[in-house]
């Protein structure tokens, strides 16, 4: 793709989302999975460790993921727009791209890290594509309605559990707290040999792409993609709005979104992280507020782009955004080598405070590597493979000159 046809603002958003998603993901890399759902299940919450959890929950949990999904939807609209300009059908290319993404996601989820989102995005992106010819208003309405479905499902499940057998509730609650069998299982697997990790990782990943996807993730991700398609059409992601409009969206998004997330966290603390209330009711405050905060972050990046200031920051985010898929997978490779037994074997030993210190180190490394890579190559290695598959041809890979970004 010629560089002059790229939207630099979209690249900045992708870069911000890729880097920001590591703030939450690193806990899943470093600790048994029950600690992600309930921070009191594993690891210290005293002092700096508790602050790291609470701040990351308020400002990143679900928020950057929401922005990432919106960006994916914007990418669908951009692909269709460019195909129309080139007078060619985009559907075949799109579905080949989703097939490639789905295969990469399955390989990632089963063989590297269970927290993969690529397969889920491939499925949701295939469905979202069917709405491409709908009016922008329809995309906005359907997107919001889809976001409400998992909230309603969770609330109904939370209400219905009062009528479930006590024995079943006790068993489910055990998996939620410090006595969860998953903690010992994860510690044994991920501090052991690579072969020990495979069955444990497969079990968790299968539950994510089956039960979790059906109850929550599919509706949430598809709704966000539709919103992203609409916002791209409206010019919000290409810095076409006025400074005043972005400032208003920034203030409203942060004000309402963070207020919901904070209120939910206070309610969860008041309930002492009790299961099933926390999982099915308490977390819905944050799930509802997260897309609003994502819109605020989107506005913040667009304001930065419009000002033309902090050029080094802008160039770094753009470089990471242009190689977003490669950088996403690179985060998994680096973090599993740090924490898993086939690498440094630090799984379960790194506190939340030290996890927060590792994150910016990986950020700077990824920014530097992305800037260097794009001096020599036109796109990331995984992006290039995906384009080969979706276009059924091999686009240029190496740059002919050493021109800077």
Residue-wise pLDDT for 23-50, tens only, equals 999 999 999 999 998 999 999 999 999 9
> Is it the case that residue 87 has pLDDT exceeding 60?
no
pLDDT, one tens digit per residue, over 100-135 is 999 999 999 999 999 999 999 999 999 999 999 899
pLDDT by residue (tens digit) across 234-255? 999 999 999 999 999 999 999 9
pLDDT of 271 above 90: yes
305 compared with 91, residue with greater pLDDT:
305
pLDDT for residue 366 is more than 60: yes
pLDDT of 324 > 70? The answer is yes
Mean pLDDT, the chain, rounded, equals 92
Q: Tell me: pLDDT of 179 over 80.
A: yes
Q: What pLDDT was estimated at residue 85?
A: 57
pLDDT at 79 over 50: yes
pLDDT for 5 equals 47
Q: Which residue has the higher pLDDT, 373 or 169?
A: 373
Confidence of residue 1 (pLDDT cuts 50, 70, 90): very low
pLDDT value, residue 404: 46
Note the pLDDT of residue 308.
86
Is pLDDT above 50 for 3? no
Counting residues of the chain whose pLDDT is more than 90, the rounded percentage is 81
Higher pLDDT, 398 or 328: 328
Please count the other Cβ atoms lying within 10 Å of the Cβ belonging to residue 258.
Answer: 18
Q: Average the pLDDT over 68-91 and give the result.
A: 80
Q: What pTM value is reported for the model?
A: 0.93
Mean pLDDT of 89-99: 89
Q: Give residue 217's pLDDT band: very low, low, confident or very high (50, 70, 90).
A: very high
pLDDT at 88 over 70: no
pLDDT for 176 beyond 60: yes
Q: What pLDDT is recorded for position 161?
A: 86
Q: Is the pLDDT of residue 293 over 80?
A: yes
Residue 224 confidence class, pLDDT cut points 50, 70, 90: very high
Average pLDDT, stretch 211-240?
95
Asked whether residue 402 carries a pLDDT value surpassing 50, the answer given is: no
């Amino acid at each position: 793709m010629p560089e002059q046809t790229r939207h630099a603002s979209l690249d900045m958003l992708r870069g911000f989302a890729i880097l920001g998603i590591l703030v939450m993901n690193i806990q899943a890399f470093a600790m048994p999975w029950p600690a992600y759902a309930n921070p009191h299940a594993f690891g210290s919450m005293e002092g700096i460790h508790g602050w790291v959890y609470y701040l990351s929950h308020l400002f990143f949990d679900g928020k950057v993921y929401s922005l990432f999904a919106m960006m994916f939807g914007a990418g669908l609209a951009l692909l269709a727009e460019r195909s129309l300009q080139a007078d060619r059908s985009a559907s075949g290319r799109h579905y080949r791209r989703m097939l490639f993404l789905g295969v990469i996601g399955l390989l990632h989820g089963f063989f590297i890290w269970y927290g993969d989102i690529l397969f889920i995005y491939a499925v949701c992106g295939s469905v979202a594509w069917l709405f491409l010819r709908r009016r922008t208003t329809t995309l906005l309405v359907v997107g919001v309605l889809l976001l409400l479905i998992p909230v309603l499902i969770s609330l109904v499940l939370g209400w219905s559990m009062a009528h479930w057998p006590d024995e079943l509730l006790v068993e489910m609650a055990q998996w939620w707290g410090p006595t969860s069998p998953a903690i010992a299982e994860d510690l044994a697997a991920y501090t052991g040999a690579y072969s020990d990790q495979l069955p444990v990782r497969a079990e968790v990943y299968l539950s994510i792409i089956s039960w979790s996807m059906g109850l929550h993730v599919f509706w949430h991700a598809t709704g966000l993609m539709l919103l992203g398609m609409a916002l791209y059409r409206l010019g919000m992601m290409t810095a076409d709005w006025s400074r005043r409009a972005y400032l208003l969206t920034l203030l409203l998004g942060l004000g309402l979104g963070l207020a919901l997330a904070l209120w939910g966290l206070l309610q969860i603390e008041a309930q002492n992280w009790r299961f099933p209330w926390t999982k099915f009711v308490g977390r819905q405050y944050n799930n509802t507020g997260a897309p609003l905060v994502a819109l605020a972050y989107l506005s913040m990046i667009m304001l930065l782009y419009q000002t033309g200031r902090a050029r080094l920051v802008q160039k770094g985010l753009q470089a990471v955004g242009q190689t977003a898929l490669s950088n996403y997978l690179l985060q998994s490779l680096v973090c599993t080598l740090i924490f898993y037994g086939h690498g440094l074997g630090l799984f379960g030993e790194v506190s939340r405070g030290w996890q927060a210190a590792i994150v910016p180190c990986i950020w700077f490394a990824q920014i530097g590597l992305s800037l260097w890579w794009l001096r020599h190559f036109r796109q990331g290695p995984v992006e290039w493979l995906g384009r080969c598959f979706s276009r059924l041809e091999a686009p240029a890979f190496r740059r002919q000159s050493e021109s800077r970004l």
